[in-house]
Structure 1
């Protein structure tokens, strides 16, 4: 659903609803999509990526030893590669950096939980852990995303009940890219701009497609607007819209260094499923009619970079 043609302070405002978060299956680890977050199911070599998740339960602590035959599982501050939960040094090539550890209990202890159960129980807390680990609540403006992996069916049968929250850097396919070095506190200071999400697609028309900001793109994420808690009712379209009109117009003007008619404010918001999984921000974007080839931050009255 989208609307166009609202005019405020000389800028055209484009509104778009974020559809349900996408889900991708891979063997190994959970991964995130364009609206930033993920979840997945993992055995020593089996996991699944998807977007969003909600709730928070489970105790913290390592399951490094586990039951006989249990796989070695990375702890906070360590990294993993692909579908293997074994720890590796973050200076080595890896895909996910672990931010928090926990174990499932209660009703989930007897049989492997369904994916939705895991999302409900854990992912909102993984999003909070990602913000604390990265050093900013604004990480939805970046290509860094929360991640989740947990013991798969075979591991569950061995008595393993671990899960791990993590963070990953997304590539243009919204998959966890291989990288080296830690991202702990990477978004402090000017870090958000270093990892800023630029989109090849127009955010008002379709979900953002990450691309480097020095490559042709039509959208740049500029601000997040908190809209509540995942335990609250999903705001109405009118409520999202009202919050976005003022906040996103102002955010885009500030980002550009002044109002201009050839850059629009656009925004996207979560649907009910994503909301319950912890995606409770409205995200504002600066959007152009034609692709630009460099960041618009501080462009002021200069010609747009084509």
Structure 2
């Protein structure tokens, strides 16, 4: 049986930096409030802190705070950009994100929504502030603009999930393509995922991660498409930096307009 397999790769980018507008030092810095809604944009992603105004969740918004708290005491004397802080936030926000949406790890990696985290402004950090904030946002890596969220995103991925919340890619290849909700025109759909290792495992190396992902996705996408004679597939995988931050899962993409 002949099969056509297009091997594509994209390094996963993790939302470790948090998003939001630069804090205006002339305004009092907001402390996190659980359930608060805001209008955030992809252009805000590079900012580690956020002091944008809260809006009513019944009004249009693209972000909702789903987890807040104080950082562990181990970060009392940490630098503002300590890499261990990003790794801790990845694990903390990821677990809370799955619980909030009502989904497992595989499903949340195939949805158009993602999360971002924030810390105090650098000035507030220097003054001793040590809180964190995790927001669900209506988009992810390579999203041009965020979609509006429902009044609350809690339980968004429970039950039957509409295509407006699943992620697809619009472009000739997965790599570099704009990620869109699957209700919009697209050529690729994220259909399955594979876990490469356990939390305590050491990084197995780029080559092993890529080959393991490629081989699994070839078979997985073929089965998802119901074993056609010809098919194209793609995959997104990660490197050591993402592994160190806590990611262990690659994503398989099928070329389909379904």
Structure 1 length normalisation: TM-score? Answer: 0.67
> Root-mean-square deviation (CA), in Å?
3.1
SS at match of 2:6: strand
Question: What residue in structure 2 maps to residue 54 of structure 1?
Answer: none
SS at match of 2:159: coil
Closer, same or farther in 2 for the Cα pair 1:228/1:86, shift >3 Å? farther
Question: What residue in structure 2 maps to residue 45 of structure 1?
Answer: 23
**Alpha-carbon separation, structure 2, partners of 1:270 and 1:286:** 18
1:194-209 equivalences in 2 (<5 Å): 194-203=164-173, 206-209=175-178
Residues 169 and 186, structure 2, Cα contact 8 Å, conserved in 1: yes
Structure 2: state its 5+ residue gaps.
Answer: 41-49
Structure 1: state its 5+ residue gaps.
Answer: 1-8, 22-35, 47-68, 289-293, 296-306
SS at match of 2:99: helix
**Alpha-carbon separation, structure 1, partners of 2:195 and 2:141:** 26
Closer, same or farther in 2 for the Cα pair 1:104/1:183, shift >3 Å? same
Do residues 13 (structure 1) and 2 (structure 2) align?
Answer: no
Do residues 71 (structure 1) and 29 (structure 2) align?
Answer: yes
**Alpha-carbon separation, structure 1, partners of 2:177 and 2:160:** 22
Q: Residue 158 of structure 2 is aligned with which of 182, 188, 199?
A: 188
Closer, same or farther in 2 for the Cα pair 1:272/1:111, shift >3 Å? closer
How many angstroms does 1:244 deviate by?
4.2
Closer, same or farther in 2 for the Cα pair 1:212/1:80, shift >3 Å? closer
- Number of aligned residue pairs: give it: 243
Residues 68 and 132, structure 2, Cα contact 8 Å, conserved in 1: yes
1:113-192 equivalences in 2 (<5 Å): 113-114=80-81, 116-137=83-104, 138-170=107-139, 173-174=142-143, 177=146, 179-181=148-150, 182-191=152-161
Residues 151 and 161, structure 1, Cα contact 8 Å, conserved in 2: yes
Closer, same or farther in 2 for the Cα pair 1:229/1:128, shift >3 Å? farther
How many angstroms does 1:141 deviate by?
0.7
**Alpha-carbon separation, structure 2, partners of 1:175 and 1:165:** 21
Higher helix share: 2
Do residues 97 (structure 1) and 64 (structure 2) align?
Answer: yes
Question: What residue in structure 2 maps to residue 31 of structure 1?
Answer: none
Do residues 265 (structure 1) and 233 (structure 2) align?
Answer: yes
Q: Residue 76 of structure 2 is aligned with which of 85, 109, 119?
A: 109
Q: Residue 233 of structure 1 is aligned with which of 190, 195, 202?
A: 202
How many angstroms does 1:272 deviate by?
0.9
How many angstroms does 1:79 deviate by?
2.1
**Alpha-carbon separation, structure 2, partners of 1:200 and 1:41:** 24
How many angstroms does 1:281 deviate by?
0.7
